[in-house]
A and B are shown apart, each in its own frame.
Chain A
């Protein structure tokens, strides 16, 4: 069975500071990994995904994530936070068949002026 753990249900940063949202996964097979973002009163939108190949993945809005197999991690980063980045972020892992996407508990990012 696969699972996802997001460390920190709430993260607060100042505008312009580094954003680091942590995600660890467990999977019995090479995983497909995703980060989704949810803005208030909206559904989830894909930020980025890792499938195969380059372990550093770039997404929308300046976010990127690095797949580290040895650490079973897929942490999300952004060099400089913007007020518009305030949202909830979900890490997810897909099984090979693609019919089961397992989400972490989410991390709410708050950006202080």
Chain B
């Protein structure tokens, strides 16, 4: 049981390049999330998907797009990377009942550097 798997683990981009961060979960969870983690700022929600076929903006969506490809997969795309997007990106999924008190399961993160 792998849980939440993110690829790649590390990536270096030049300003203006594009890339897609991949996330897959094998726990049959409905809800999935993308967060970015920056020192002193905790985790900030970029986008989330409450169920297959739906996506919504979080706190910091500018410069990102997402796709909920199917129930398992939720990808995050940077169309034109900027240095301000240098961060550690975490994908997470929420336990099946999706109640407000249910826990998030996190992947191990993607460390992205934009030069």
Contacts and interface: CB of A to CB of B under 8 A. Distances in A.
A44 B98 contact: no
Interface string B76-115: 0000000000000010101000111111101111000000
A99 B73 CA distance: 18
Q: Which interface class (under 10, 10 to 19, 20 to 34, 35 or more) fits B?
A: 20 to 34
Interface residues of A, number: 28
Interface in B19-63: 31, 33, 35, 40-45, 48, 50, 56, 58
Interface in A32-47: 32, 34, 36, 41-46
Interface stretch (A61-69, A75-83, A88-96): A88-96
Nearest to B43: A103
Contact of A90 (B42, B92, B103): B42
B42 A105 contact: yes
Interface of B: 4, 31, 33, 35, 40-45, 48, 50, 56, 58, 90, 92, 94, 98-104, 106-109
